[in-house]
Amino acid sequence: PLTIYRKDYTAPSYLVDTVELGFDLDPARTIVANRLTMRRNPASAQREIELYGEDIELVALRLNGKALGKREYRLDGNLLRIPNAPEEVTLEIETLCAPEKNTALSGLYVSNGNFITQCEAEGFRRITFFPDRPDVMAKYTVMLRADKERYPVLLSNGNLVDEGMLPDGRHYAKWEDPFLKPSYLFALVAAKLVCQEEKFKLADGREALLQVWVEEGNLDKTDYAMQSLKKSIRWDEERFGLELDLDRFMIVATGDFNMGAMENKGLNIFNTKYVLANPRVATDIDFQGIEAVVGHEYFHNWTGNRVTCRDWFQLSLKEGLTVFRDQEFSGDMIGTSTGRAVNRIDQVRTLRAAQFPEDAGPMAHPVRPDSFVEINNFYTVTVYEKGAEVVRMYQTLLGREGFRKGMDLYFERHDGQAVECDDFRRAMADANDRNLDQFERWYSQAGTPVVRAQMRYDEQQHAVELTLSQSCPATPGQPEKLPFHIPVAVGLVGRDGRDIPLVIDDQERGTTTVLELTGAEQTFRFTSVPQQPVPSILRDFSAPVVLEYDYSDEDLLHLFSHDSDPVNRWEAGQRLAMERLLRLTEDVTAGSRLQLDDTFIEAMRKVLTDESLGPAFREQALLLPTESMIAEQTDVVHPLSIHMARQFVRSSIGNRLRAELLAAYDANQTPGQYSPDAESIGKRALKNLALGYLAAASDDEGIALAERQFDEADNMTDRAAALGALVHARAPAAQRALQGFYDEFEKEALVVDKWFAMQASSPSTDVAAVRELMKHPAFTMKNPNRARSLVFNFCMANPVQFHVPDGSGYAFWAEQVMALDALNPQVAARLARAMDRWRRYAPALQAHMKQALKQVNGLKKLSNDVREVVSKALA
Ligand code: DPP
Ligand code: ZN
């Protein structure tokens, strides 16, 4: 397959001014008429018109009114070229496609009888021939025609300008989008749907019509999405002075969707997972996900749509920035400072669990990649979450106001343009008179930097010298790295547990200061430090790095009890736990007796019973690092040893803190009407964590509690937590509960997904059991949510069974990747990534994994998507 390089970028040969699209919608045979006005781009030396088309049939092609003969254009694969075209051109293109056959869910497809589109990144070319690249921005008019009975609702971007009946029982709707947009933001929906709608007053007094469209039976699950949308609009006005620029903003939910959601101009299309919720079917995490994703897609309207990407290498320009914005939104919605910290801790967890491994594996790439085979493979945690960390660092370096100034300048300069990550950095630098040249390396260098810290206390001088050094491991194609510009937020915690006021160069710097590490090694000197402190480094996780510091257990216990920075307070607990988990993992492998020290248990007891800490924070502090996080810290990964070590710690906590856990369980009930506010979510989280530990203990009390909770719960959060506890503890009641759960929620697709997911990730579910579950009538590979719930969860969230020594888990993986690839390459390539870290396992497992990878790679008929992932894994 062809590799595309960032350095090869050239400007488009022709620009498009207007696009008029006509659709005659039919599942088997949709006719698309496309009328484009184009003109030669003065910035390009090229004189050929270049249009992309994929899986569509070209029926007619006219240039300035005249049909083009076979000699007047060339169609090679997906590229249609028209040489020697005049300066100004009107192109008329007629094509055919078959939406019902489109299982890739890219372009125009059918979902439960409804027409839906997904065009990012390169799906528009599966609808019509077009210069399908983000730097071609045009004005769109769209005419939809379809059967009125089957497709009563016809939607596209922008404003509805006309609608009516056609003589043959069909109806039509005409939509006009007043804004310039790239083709990846085009969307249409023709469907049988109903909506919740509301008029909403914008900051400037205008009224906008907000709609959430769903299938008929789901109208009882749209409130939270609507609320989240209104909160998002308000927040963007207040925090960034950005207003909704349309009279109408629509969200449409579909059950068949590759991603989470899509920010099409004025017509966001969402995976049902991020729209539908009520207490009966959705968990707290689902509610939080809806708020975050509704916000994310809405915020794209400015960061993505009004200012878009010049090319797909710049994807993080819109994604990193928009994730940062949705993170800040979620934080502001919680409001309290510990609430915000819990939110931040969640972000750190995601980075460690998913982005750090990616950055250390065969698919490692910079936030702004230099090359790719298939862009769909680069919608990654690096581009999104690390990209958001990079944006966050601007705010850490420049302050909130400075960051806002940079944002204002960015929009002032680039509204209506398709730009690069560098343009964003320049806006931040220029608005603040700062040199951010070195900061560019965060975009160009892959890999997770390691910051090593050493502290020396000078008794005589009452001074602390903190030496910070940095390095970054090699990544594919990048053997050597240059130093990054790293903001390191630091505090010094005194013996009394209080922060010591910081003084550097006779300047008072408060109790937390941001040090800027730009060289390979730098020493910072703090004066007026009365006694040897414990340093609290990388407060609020001020940079996406690994921090190394030789903390003693006493240091960590001190920070765990006192650090004023809640993120580092949590971090101290994680370090204490990780150290023990790693040692216990070795003990399991060596067959030694397992023991957990009182010190650790006492630290956990203290946090669990500290009423001054909110329940949400206590839950985070008591949560152990995941098995995959532990795996990342070991040289040779033994999944079973890791699992057993972690289980041992869980059951030890359950046994030795039984009384405290029971007390926490009782104290954190949330009687009365369910509400997904931060406070109640925190209580349920702590209560259900306690339940999990109790269920892992050696007596039956926890199991009995889980059974009771399962039977009595009036909301899905408690229901699912109880069922999960039963299933994971292999309780005798688990089967009965699973059956009851299925019977009750059979008609709720998102709950059935949970049902599959819970079993797929349970260590009691082996390969044979997964195969059995795949035969369940409710299972289908064609629906991405369903495939993810069962097959992905087994391969990615059930390490013990996936990595069984005989390699049968890997054979299963190969089979499923190949099966999925024939249906949906984009989703198949995600599953392919389950093998990313194969080189870190014991040689016997490696051999099986390599064989499975080779089997997939050996397939002649394989998508570029999967090919890229497996060939990079094998390289
Ligand atoms: N749907 C994806 C997102 O919003 C791609 N833009 O991040
Ligand atoms: Zn996005």
Shared domain check, 681 and 556: yes
Does ligand 1 lie within 6 Å of residue 315's CB atom? Answer: no
What is the pLDDT at residue 21?
A: 99
Nearest CA to ligand 1 atom 1: 262
Residue 487: which pLDDT band, with cuts at 50, 70 and 90? very high
Nearest CA to ligand 1 atom 5: 262
| Contacts of 253 by beta carbon, 8 Å cutoff, 6+ apart | 212, 213, 214, 215, 218, 225, 270, 271, 272, 275, 276
Ligand 1 center from residue 263 Cα (angstroms): 6
CATH number at residue 176: 2.60.40.1730
Position in ligand 1 atom list of the atom nearest CA 297: 4
Ligand 1 center from residue 601 Cα (angstroms): 43
Which tens digit of pLDDT belongs to each residue from 504-529? Answer: 999 999 999 999 999 999 999 999 99
Pocket residue to mutate for ligand 1, from 120, 270, 294, 302, most atoms within 8 A of Cβ: 120
Does ligand 1 lie within 6 Å of residue 571's CB atom? Answer: no
Q: List Cα–Cα distances, 321 to 242, 296, 302, 308, 388, in angstroms.
A: 14, 10, 10, 11, 6
Range of the domain at 338: 308-444
Q: List Cα–Cα distances, 521 to 463, 504, 644, in angstroms.
A: 19, 18, 40
Ligand approaching nearest to the C-alpha of 379? 1
Going by C-alpha positions, the residue among 167, 178, 176, 117 that lies closest to residue 145 is: 167
Shared domain check, 504 and 421: no
Contact 481, 472 (CB under 8 A): yes
Ligand 1 center from residue 190 Cα (angstroms): 21
Whole-model pTM?
A: 0.99
Record the tokens describing residue 285, joined without a space: 């995490």
Which tens digit of pLDDT belongs to each residue from 361-393? Answer: 999 999 999 999 999 999 999 999 999 999 999
Q: Does 799 have pLDDT greater than 90?
A: yes
Shared domain check, 319 and 183: no
Percent of the chain with pLDDT over 90: 100
Record the tokens describing residue 424, joined without a space: 């964003």
Nearest CA to ligand 1 atom 3: 262
Does ligand 1 lie within 6 Å of residue 263's CB atom? Answer: yes
Domain-ending residue, one of 169, 192, 215 = 192
Shared domain check, 614 and 546: no
297 given a catalytic annotation? yes
Contacts of 839-846 with C-beta under 8 Å, sequence gap 24+, read: 840/631, 840/635, 840/636, 840/637, 841/636, 841/637, 841/639, 841/803, 842/636, 842/637, 842/638, 844/805, 845/803, 845/805, 845/807
State the ipTM, two decimals. Answer: 0.98
Going by C-alpha positions, the residue among 841, 765, 843, 750 that lies closest to residue 800 is: 765
Ligand 1 center from residue 260 Cα (angstroms): 7
Shared domain check, 501 and 440: no
Peptide bond into 121 cis (omega under 30): yes
Residue 1: which pLDDT band, with cuts at 50, 70 and 90? confident
Using the 8-state DSSP alphabet, how is residue 272 labeled? G
Going by C-alpha positions, the residue among 465, 464, 462, 484 that lies closest to residue 473 is: 484
* Mean pLDDT calculated for residue range 254-274: 99
As a whole number, the mean pLDDT across the chain is 98
Does ligand 1 lie within 6 Å of residue 389's CB atom? Answer: no
What is the pLDDT at residue 808?
A: 98
Position in ligand 1 atom list of the atom nearest CA 323: 7
CATH number at residue 767: 1.25.50.10
Instruction: Decide if 171 is inside a domain.
Output: yes
Position in ligand 1 atom list of the atom nearest CA 300: 4
CATH number at residue 511: 2.60.40.1840
Ligand approaching nearest to the C-alpha of 325? 2
Does ligand 1 lie within 6 Å of residue 319's CB atom? Answer: yes
Ligand 2 center from residue 168 Cα (angstroms): 40
Domain-ending residue, one of 533, 550, 567 = 550
Does ligand 1 lie within 6 Å of residue 297's CB atom? Answer: yes
* Total count of domains within the chain: 5
Q: Which amino acid is at 152?
A: P
Position in ligand 1 atom list of the atom nearest CA 296: 4
Ligand 2 center from residue 319 Cα (angstroms): 5
Instruction: Decide if 665 is inside a domain.
Output: yes
Instruction: Decide if 264 is inside a domain.
Output: no
Using the 8-state DSSP alphabet, how is residue 274 labeled? G
* Mean pLDDT calculated for residue range 201-219: 98
C-beta atoms surrounding 45 within 10 Å: 8
Domain-ending residue, one of 444, 468, 495 = 444
Instruction: Decide if 563 is inside a domain.
Output: yes
Shared domain check, 181 and 56: yes
The length of the chain, given as a count of residues? 875
Instruction: Decide if 232 is inside a domain.
Output: no
Shared domain check, 545 and 561: no
* Mean pLDDT calculated for residue range 609-629: 97
Q: Tokens 């024939």 correspond to what residue?
A: 822
Shared domain check, 28 and 110: yes
Position in ligand 1 atom list of the atom nearest CA 259: 1
The span from the CA of 319 to the CA of 309, in Å, is 10
Ligand 1 center from residue 375 Cα (angstroms): 13
Contact 596, 580 (CB under 8 A): yes
Give the DSSP H or E segment for 687. Answer: helix 678-696
Does ligand 1 lie within 6 Å of residue 259's CB atom? Answer: yes
CA-CA-CA-CA torsion for 212, 228, 281, 344, nearest 10 degrees? 140
Q: Does 162 have pLDDT greater than 90?
A: yes
Pocket residue to mutate for ligand 1, from 268, 319, 376, most atoms within 8 A of Cβ: 319
Shared domain check, 567 and 540: no
The span from the CA of 318 to the CA of 638, in Å, is 39
Which tens digit of pLDDT belongs to each residue from 216-226? Answer: 999 999 999 99
Does ligand 1 lie within 6 Å of residue 572's CB atom? Answer: no
Shared domain check, 766 and 867: yes
N-term to C-term CA, the chain: 15
Instruction: Decide if 732 is inside a domain.
Output: no
The span from the CA of 821 to the CA of 865, in Å, is 9
Q: Which is the catalytic residue, given 54, 297, 627, 868?
A: 297
* Mean pLDDT calculated for residue range 327-340: 95
Record the tokens describing residue 146, joined without a space: 């379809």
Instruction: Decide if 786 is inside a domain.
Output: yes
Pocket residue to mutate for ligand 1, from 263, 265, 298, most atoms within 8 A of Cβ: 263
Which tens digit of pLDDT belongs to each residue from 112-140? Answer: 999 999 999 999 999 999 999 999 999 99
Contact 255, 111 (CB under 8 A): yes
Ligand 2 center from residue 320 Cα (angstroms): 8
Q: Does 578 have pLDDT greater than 90?
A: yes
Q: Tokens 């950095």 correspond to what residue?
A: 425
Does ligand 1 lie within 6 Å of residue 262's CB atom? Answer: yes
Ligand approaching nearest to the C-alpha of 303? 2
Does ligand 1 lie within 6 Å of residue 120's CB atom? Answer: yes
Instruction: Decide if 557 is inside a domain.
Output: yes
Position in ligand 1 atom list of the atom nearest CA 319: 7
The span from the CA of 809 to the CA of 729, in Å, is 22
Contact 662, 702 (CB under 8 A): no
Written as one string, the DSSP assignment of 756-814 is HHHHHTSTT--HHHHHHHHTSTT--SSSHHHHIIIIIHHHHH-HHHHT-TTSHHHHHHH
Record the tokens describing residue 544, joined without a space: 């996406």
Q: Does 545 have pLDDT greater than 90?
A: yes
Does ligand 1 lie within 6 Å of residue 388's CB atom? Answer: no
Shared domain check, 511 and 455: yes
CATH number at residue 351: 1.10.390.10
Shared domain check, 528 and 608: no
Ligand 2 center from residue 297 Cα (angstroms): 6
Does ligand 1 lie within 6 Å of residue 326's CB atom? Answer: no
Ligand 1 center from residue 501 Cα (angstroms): 43
Record the tokens describing residue 679, joined without a space: 């406070």
Contact 493, 506 (CB under 8 A): no
